[in-house]
Amino acid sequence: MRSSLKFTNKLNMLSEMTGESRFQILEYENLDGASDAETAFGLNIIRQSGIKLKQLRIILEESAVKIEPNSLSYMKGDIDVKSKSGGLIGFGKKIITSKLTGETAFKPTYSGNGEIFLEPSFGHFALIELEDDEIIVSDNMFYACEEGVEVSAAIQKNISASFLGNEGLYQTNLQGNGIVALKVPVPESEIFKCVLINDTLKVDGNFAILRTGNIEFSVEKSSKSIVGTMVSGEGLVNVYRGTGEVW
């Protein structure tokens, strides 16, 4: 077959992490696909701002991954797709978890050999490898993970504080062994990692996007007295205590 097209598509690899499967964050070098003046103007602004389109590729080698529904762009190879409900009890737990966290109830499992490309995005991604670890992340950050990672809901122990602290009553809990791909709200250059060693971190707002499972979360008045809180103007702060990490 002959064609007039010159296929010069190029993707740059920003980062890679390998476990049972291989996760890669890819970046498009340039976007020129304008078919009208309005789109061309928008693409020009994107180029001038240095914004690049990114895409997550997962390479399966007799392995399996869970992916957030409606995230698939395309895949090639001998790959089987299943959605496990876990029976009636498992179905009920997944529905409850979905209602509480805002995450979709069923995460399809892709297993076999081949390549999976998820939907391109102008957003930002992070890869994390869990080794019998546990992390709690903000809603809608989960994107994909290896089969050895369990995705569930994490309830805030201080229920009344959760309503007041803008962190939500439930967040997403990721626990086990394997690689996790997350959608993060800002580029990595704008994320700070606070390492706590039997220490306390107080944040004025819901800026924390991730914490390790051994960090306790609560919401407290910025001053011990109500009068002090009113005078300071800060009101309530999110408090993280223990030993671990807060992003």
For residue range 142-161, list pLDDT tens digits in order. Answer: 999 999 999 988 776 554 44
As a whole number of angstroms, the distance between CA 142 and CA 145 comes to 8
- β pairing state of 149-155 and 11-18: unpaired
Q: Which amino acid is at 54?
A: K
Model pTM? 0.79
Q: How many Cβ atoms are within 10 Å of 59's Cβ, its own excluded?
A: 17
In the chain, % of residues over pLDDT 90: 52
Higher pLDDT, 2 or 191: 191
Phi-psi region of 148 (alpha: psi -120 to 50; beta: other; left: phi over 0): alpha
Residue pair 58/18 in contact (Cβ under 8 Å)? The answer is: no
Compute the mean pLDDT over every residue in the chain, rounded to the nearest whole number: 82
- pLDDT above 90 (res 209): yes
pLDDT at 24: 97
